[in-house]
Amino acid sequence: MAMQEAVRAIVEQIQPGEMFDSHLVIDLLIRDFSDDYLRFASECPSDRLTLTTHQRIGQVIASLEGELVERQNRQSRSLTIHNTLGKCALWLRV
């Protein structure tokens, strides 16, 4: 499954009107689509692999804007995959 399809499958599980952030999508990708996540990360030509991969996942979420999501004018603060607090994009499921 391509990353676009995996992200779409996750976003479609979120109820319209609910807010979510990029960290949630990343966590669910790792849990439910781990092979796709690792394949996507392996295609990343960067020595900052995690950061660049997660930025690219944010771009995939953004590609659904107007159809399934709407980016909010503020950021979310939630746990990263390293179990630290981090800021990331906040989305509304439309």
Closest CA to 5 of 46, 27, 37, 43: 37
Q: Tell me, what's the pLDDT at 44? A: 84
Residues (pLDDT < 70) of the chain are none
pTM: 0.92
| CB distance 88 to 78 below 8 Å | yes
DSSP 15: P
